[in-house]
A = this chain, B = another copy of it.
Amino acid sequence: MPAEIRVFAPATVANVAAGFDILGFALGQPGDEIAIRRRKEPGIVLHNRTDFAAMPLEPSANTAGVALQAMLAHLGSDAGFEITFLHKIKPGSGIGSSAASSAAAVYGANYLLGEPLTRQQLVPFAMEGEKLASGTAHADNVAPALMGGFVLVRSYHPLDLITIPAPPLLHCSIIHPQIELKTEDARKVLKKQISLKDAVVQWGNVAGLIAGLLREDYSLIGRSLHDVIVEPVRSLLIPGYDRIKDAAMQAGALGCSISGSGPSLFALSTSEADAQRISAAMLDVCRACGLQSESYVSGINSQGVRVL
């Protein structure tokens, strides 16, 4: 066992249109990278060598620290760890920045402890990091970050995670408009009550999406990528949303919607060339709107977090 390992945890897209709060998938890139080593003494020590100076380094105020504390408490372990954050997904992007930190920390520490826990067993601890970051212990980012591919959160109580391998051709284009949109605010705009009629449309699409993924039926995946509940309200918080989405669809996307709670958008397609073209088309609209944006093009990450 090396004294120090480096761990990569991928960005993730939660919700996936119709799958609000229950579905997410992992990207090939971007991701978080950490270095982690055992300390001789108990306790967690965090260092920040990323571009983001604002990261809290007190373990109980840091998503990765909280996740790791929860895992060690569960194991009854007094092992100490030193974690250096090397690369960080931009916080507030909507592609699972906090989830990646938590996933990297618990996966790395579990690895150094001889893997007492499976990837799936790590999810509840990483969820504690999410709770710190956004106020709710949601699993639709941390589960795919840890387990790879698509992960369905069938139930939260009890936690029931179903892995769904990504169809091999699937590619993703991410556009991250550089606006601030807090997860808490994106939650605030949601209606607490929805119409049964809309809910029926939504669960028809969720069911279609799962069938499409399991059958590698790209047309069905595309037909099912509709969200009549959350996107109509959240998209109002993202300037130029409809035009950016239109551009993705015109450029051949299977579907396009908000990644997590935004402001990033994701679009799915069936080749890297398509994903590149879709990304370029979306960026063109952002530029025309005067909206500075970052973009990523990636396959689906079937493995999840890994030791580099």
- Residues of chain A touching chain B, judged by Cβ–Cβ distance below 8 Å, are 18-23, 152-156, 160, 162, 164, 190-197, 199-211, 214-215, 220, 223-224, 229
A-B contact pairs, 30 of them (CB 8 A): A19-B207, A20-B203, A21-B200, A21-B204, A22-B203, A22-B204, A152-B207, A153-B204, A154-B204, A154-B207, A155-B201, A155-B205, A155-B208, A156-B204, A162-B207, A162-B208, A164-B211, A193-B193, A194-B195, A194-B196, A194-B199, A199-B199, A206-B206, A206-B207, A207-B210, A210-B210, A210-B211, A210-B214, A214-B214, A214-B215
- Choice from B160, B192, B211 contacting A195 with Cβ under 8 Å: B192
Determine if A191 and B201 form an interchain contact, defined as CB atoms under 8 angstroms apart.
no
Please give, as numbers and ranges, the residues of chain B lying within 8 Å of A203 by CB-CB distance.
18-20, 22, 199, 202-203, 206
Kindly report how many copies of this chain are found in the complex they form together.
2
Once the chains are docked, how many angstroms separate the CA of A214 from the CA of B210?
9
Q: Of all chain B residues, which has the CB nearest A201? A: B155
Q: Of all chain B residues, which has the CB nearest A155? A: B204
CB-CB under 8 A for A191 and B199, given A204-B153, A220-B154: no
Determine if A207 and B204 form an interchain contact, defined as CB atoms under 8 angstroms apart.
no
Determine if A196 and B22 form an interchain contact, defined as CB atoms under 8 angstroms apart.
no
- Choice from B20, B21, B152, B211 contacting A162 with Cβ under 8 Å: B211
Determine if B162 and A229 form an interchain contact, defined as CB atoms under 8 angstroms apart.
no
Please give, as numbers and ranges, the residues of chain B lying within 8 Å of A22 by CB-CB distance.
200, 203-204, 207
Q: Of all chain B residues, which has the CB nearest A213? A: B211
- Excluding A22-B203, A152-B211, 8 further A-B contacts by CB distance (< 8 Å) are A20-B203, A22-B200, A154-B207, A154-B220, A190-B196, A193-B195, A199-B199, A203-B203
